[in-house]
Chain A
Amino acid sequence: EAGVVQSPRYKIIEKKQPVAFWCNPISGHNTLYWYLQNLGQGPELLIRYENEEAVDDSQLPKDRFSAERLKGVDSTLKIQPAELGDSAVYLCASSLVWTGNTGELFFGEGSRLTVL
C-alpha cells in the first residue's frame, strides 16, 4: 500500500515568490493534516481537513497561506508571497478516523522549503 506522497521534496525560492506543495494521502484516509516543522521542533498544525471540509485552520496564517482539498483526496498548500521565516519542512499527514481504530497519523516525507 502506498504511503502519503508529497511533492516537491525540496524547493528553494527567493522571498516574495509564490510556492505550492502537493499531498496525496493514503487511499481511503478521510482526514488530512498539514504541519509545519522547524529545525529542532515538533510539528505544528497548520490545517486539518475532514473529507473536503477544513475543520481547523485556526493556525494557518491566512494573509499568505491558503490550502485546498478538492474532492476530499489530494491537497495543495500555497504560500504567496513567501517570507524568510517560512523556511521549514512542510509535512502532510493522513489518518482514517472511524470508531474502533486508533486514528494515528501517517506522515509523508515532507517538503523542505528554503526562502532566500
Chain B
Amino acid sequence: QKEVEQNSGPLSVPEGAIASLNCTYSDRGSQSFFWYRQYSGKSPELIMFIYSNGDKEDGRFTAQLNKASQYVSLLIRDSQPSDSATYLCAVRFAYGQNFVFGPGTRLSVLP
C-alpha cells in the first residue's frame, strides 16, 4: 500500500514569510512528485512537479526532492494572503500509473 504523509496543519505564517510544506512517501520506487493547491470549495490545481533530486524553482515556489530520504517539500517565498489554501502532495510510482495523494496541509497567511 503506497502511502503519502504530510505535516499536520494548519500552518500559519505572516505575510511576507517563507512557508514550508513537507511530504514523505512510502514507496522508494516512486518517480514523480506533484504539488496541488486547493482553495476551499474548489478543485485541486497543479502548482509544480518535480522528477529529479534537488531543487526546482518557479517564481515564488520551490520544490525540493530527496529520493534517498523519500522526502519532498514545497517552499513558498514572500507568502501572500492569496496563498491561503490546502496544499496536496501527490506521488506517482511510474509514468501512466495512479497518483496517490497525501491528506493535505492547510496554510493560512496572515496579513
Instruction: List residues of A whose CB falls within 8 A of some B CB.
Output: 31, 33, 35, 40-45, 48, 50, 56, 91, 97, 102-110
Contacts and interface: CB of A to CB of B under 8 A. Distances in A.
B95 A41 contact: no
Q: Chain B interface secondary structure, helix, strand, loop or mixed? A: strand
Given A42-B104, A102-B49, A104-B34, A109 B42 contact: yes
Closest 10 CB pairs of A and B: A42-B101, A107-B43, A97-B96, A43-B101, A42-B103, A104-B46, A107-B44, A42-B104, A109-B43, A42-B88
B61 interface: no
A108 B42 CA distance: 9
B98 A56 contact: yes
Contact of A97 (B34, B49, B95, B103): B95
Contacts of B90: 42, 105
Contacts of A104: 34, 46, 49
B46 A41 contact: no
Contacts of B71: none
Contacts of A35: 101
B43 A91 contact: yes
A50 B96 CA distance: 9
A22 B88 CA distance: 24
A102 B99 CA distance: 12
